[in-house]
Amino acid sequence: MKIWIASDHRGLALKENLKSKFPQKDWQDLGPFSSAPVDYPDYAEKLCEQVKDLDQGVLVCGTGQGMVIKANRYKHIRAALCWNEQSVLLARKHNNANVLCLPGTLISFDLCEKIFKIFNETSFEEGRHLRRIQKL
């Protein structure tokens, strides 16, 4: 499974940290690659155009809000802004989120690593949730 990842300049450090902590993953990094200011919608768009079928995506900006707003404009994307372990667990189990949005400046790297691990390893429960997902 490919994991597409992108950020803005405020999420760059967290993006690089995640890649270094999970080197075994098939990361597809869409940038940016420096701390020069960039516009987060441009990077969310790049990622959303790449995520297909069983792929996952990770978007990081300062608060995560801008990324999740832009990402959810795409019909095939179910992006979730996650800030703790419970929020990501439910986003995967109940909402079948395929793009994880993280607040790069509001929570610790350690917590972001835990959130990513749960996102990557948790399956969609289907059942009663499938009917609801189909309405999205």
Query: Whats the size of the chain, residue-wise?
Result: 136
Burial call 66-98: b when 16+ CB within 10 Å, e when fewer: bbbebbbebeebbbbbbbeeeebebbbbbbbbb
Active site residue 101: no
Identify the active-site residue in 9, 48, 61, 82. 61
Name residues whose C-beta falls within 8 Å of residue 83's C-beta, 6 or more positions apart in sequence.
64, 103, 106, 107, 115
Residue 18, burial from CB neighbour count under 10 angstroms (0-12, 13-18, 19+): buried
103 token code pair? 């607040």
Active site residue 61: yes
Identify the active-site residue in 48, 76, 82, 94. 94
Give the SS3 label for residue 58: strand
Catalytic residues: 61, 94
